[in-house]
Structure 1
Amino acid sequence: MINTVWLKTFCTLVETKHFTLTADKLFMTQSGVSQHIKKLEKQIGAPLVAREDKQFSLTEAGKKLYLEGKEIVELLSTVQQRVTADPAFEGTVRIMSPGSVGLKLYPHLLAFQRRHPKLNIDYRFAPNEDTVEALTESNADIGLVTTEPANNLLVSEAIGEEALVVITPEKTMNVDWEILSRLGFINHPDGEYHAKLLLSANFPEYAENPQLRHAGFCNQIALIPEPVSLGLGFTVLPQYAVESFAKPQLIRVHRLPVPVSETLYLCSRRQRFVPHRVKVMMDEIKRKLA
């Protein structure tokens, strides 16, 4: 392996074209420069410079070594800066969240990325359990969940609330238990959980017997309101999912007398050093969702 100190001396000599100038630039003696060159030649196994009185010229081996070596010297001279650099608006930030939050947050973060094009936002829609697992295994930088994780490896902070609402076809002006029962329930991956939270708090009938006639199922968060807009049933969704629906004029949002919300927790892995870009992204998320 080539001694990089000797290589730096050699490349400096080639660039200054003078042993004395090289010694001054590297804070060495002239004899020290000569020793570095001789040691490098011995290590390479070939002469690098041809001395001619007080001047010198490069041998073929010297020319080749300089072309290769100057890149190595340049990389070494900036390695500390590159390793310790922590730019706020460069690099990848991996984010995971429930779909409803993502529908509101992701477009905002894309606009943020457009203002800072050296950022690379890796956004995944995922349930709470998958997000917690990814954070624990360092496969995500930031996670948003609706249940505070009981995991000592993670830190979490409540940053906002997302209301649960009933949505019905646009012509349904009011809702009661009879109307909902007649409409039927459009289920989704979190449908029964959300229905239990909201409907049991507002309808004794559901609290006593949590059964609804199922009128359909959809697992695409942005399209869950679609069958509702066609008059095929009602559903319960987080507010952000409703706000993102492309045809709001075809549905009606009902806020029930007893409001129910899910708390949003911003989570990350507990660690001593948090990259600046991750801190910046967490602040941006808080501003958008708080």
Structure 2
Amino acid sequence: MTNPHWLRSFVALVDTGSFTRAAIRLGLTQAAVSQHVGHLEDEFGPLLIRRPRQIELTPAGAALLDYCDELDLADKRLKLRLSDATVDSGEISLITPGSVGLALYPLLLTLQQQHRGLVIRHRFAPDPETRDAVLAKQYELGLVTLRPDDARLAATPFAEEPLELVAPAGVKVERWEDLEALGFIDHPDGQAMATRLLARRFPGNPGVRTLPLHGFTNQIALILEPVARGLGFTVIPRHAREAYAQPDAIQVIECGAPVVDTLWLIHRAEWPLSARAAWVLEQLRNMSPFRSGGRKGRPRSG
């Protein structure tokens, strides 16, 4: 790498047009400035055409000056990125489960509209991918449903995510046989979630695997589409249900005492969160649906 002291002398010489004035600006002797420029010319060839009262750049000198400008901009960008005074600008990187992501992403966009310097980078992913991405420093923040047992990760509760039994609007769900008649719309976590929740509403049931399977999708935003069309029921987190665009086409079936998952915020434990990430998290926690544990659903008994 080219000596930065030589480069500073070169830039000062171009700016002032004089070895004497450049030396005064830098607090150096004129001989030192001349020596620094000489080292650069040994490396890159002639940089200056010296005239009695003027210094003219050669093509190599112009290219080196452009390089110095690029270094200066990179230095300013680095200071801006690391400065606590710029919490409302720069990149925020977050990787989450799809359900809570459906609730978080619009809030992040609202925050970005209010603070146009923010850049939002968000990805939906299951727990294992989220843990790996945070460990690899691909994302600063992650949300997982299971608290990780890894000393390299700090984990704190972020939000609660109740599970809900969701059926087509207008149908009656009072007995296990009603679920059999509807059929199950599955998703990657569907059977595990349904097993936990349905045990509350239908104790002693023969198990989710005995229900007719009427569909499967791994796209969180599409799980309720077949439900809305009357093709079956499903069990999903409340945040996913609240994000659905056709709420009148579905209903939440009351299941008694709620089954609630805790979402854990994770980041690398070896260093603190950036000031920007801490600021964004504070904004999110003050925004619905995270201010008081989420909006309440409107369960129906079916």
1:69 to 1:222, Cα distance in 2 relative to 1, 3 A: closer
Amino acid at match of 1:28: L
1:69 paired with 2:64, answer: yes
Q: CA deviation at 1:139?
A: 2.3
Amino acid at match of 1:12: A
1:159 to 1:79, Cα distance in 2 relative to 1, 3 A: closer
- What corresponds to 1:12 in structure 2? 12
1:135 to 1:32, Cα distance in 2 relative to 1, 3 A: closer
1:63 to 1:102, Cα distance in 2 relative to 1, 3 A: same
Query: 1: CA distance between counterparts of 2:254 and 2:32?
Result: 83
1:196 paired with 2:195, answer: yes
1:137 to 1:30, Cα distance in 2 relative to 1, 3 A: closer
- What corresponds to 2:222 in structure 1? 223
Structure 1 vs Structure 2 CA RMSD: 2.9
Report how many residues are paired. Answer: 284
- What corresponds to 1:239 in structure 2? 238
Shifted more, 97-106 versus 229-238: the winner is: 229-238
Q: Deviations over 1:110-168 (max 9, x none)?
A: 22223333332222211112211222222222111111111111111112211111112
8 Å contact 1:225–1:245 — kept in the other structure?
Answer: yes
8 Å contact 1:98–1:127 — kept in the other structure?
Answer: yes
1:113-128 equivalences in 2 (<5 Å) = 113-128=112-127
Q: CA deviation at 1:232?
A: 2.3
Task: Indicate the SS of the match to 2:286.
Answer: helix
Query: 2: CA distance between counterparts of 1:205 and 1:47?
Result: 86
1:65 to 1:254, Cα distance in 2 relative to 1, 3 A: same
Shifted more, 100-109 versus 179-188: the winner is: 179-188
1:130 paired with 2:129, answer: yes
Q: Deviations over 1:226-254 (max 9, x none)?
A: 22222222221111111122221121112
- What corresponds to 2:297 in structure 1? none
Query: 1: CA distance between counterparts of 2:127 and 2:242?
Result: 21
Query: 2: CA distance between counterparts of 1:24 and 1:263?
Result: 63
1:118 to 1:177, Cα distance in 2 relative to 1, 3 A: same
1:258 to 1:177, Cα distance in 2 relative to 1, 3 A: farther
Q: Deviations over 1:63-106 (max 9, x none)?
A: 44542333344455566544333232343332221111111111
**For structure 2, which runs of at least 5 residues remain unmatched after alignment?**
292-302
1:269-284 equivalences in 2 (<5 Å) = 269-284=268-283
Q: Deviations over 1:191-222 (max 9, x none)?
A: 1011111111332232x645323233233222
1:250 to 1:79, Cα distance in 2 relative to 1, 3 A: closer
Query: 2: CA distance between counterparts of 1:253 and 1:81?
Result: 53
Q: Deviations over 1:21-41 (max 9, x none)?
A: 333222233454455555655
**For structure 1, which runs of at least 5 residues remain unmatched after alignment?**
none
> Which is higher, the Rg of structure 1 or of structure 2?
1
- What corresponds to 1:27 in structure 2? 27
Task: Indicate the SS of the match to 1:139.
Answer: coil
Query: 2: CA distance between counterparts of 1:69 and 1:265?
Result: 50
TM-score, normalization: structure 2? Answer: 0.80
- What corresponds to 1:169 in structure 2? 168
1:242 to 1:71, Cα distance in 2 relative to 1, 3 A: same
TM-score, normalization: structure 1? Answer: 0.83
Shifted more, 91-100 versus 192-201: the winner is: 91-100
1:91 paired with 2:86, answer: no
- What corresponds to 1:264 in structure 2? 263
Task: Indicate the SS of the match to 1:155.
Answer: strand
Identity across matched positions, percent: 37
Task: Indicate the SS of the match to 2:167.
Answer: strand
8 Å contact 2:97–2:127 — kept in the other structure?
Answer: yes
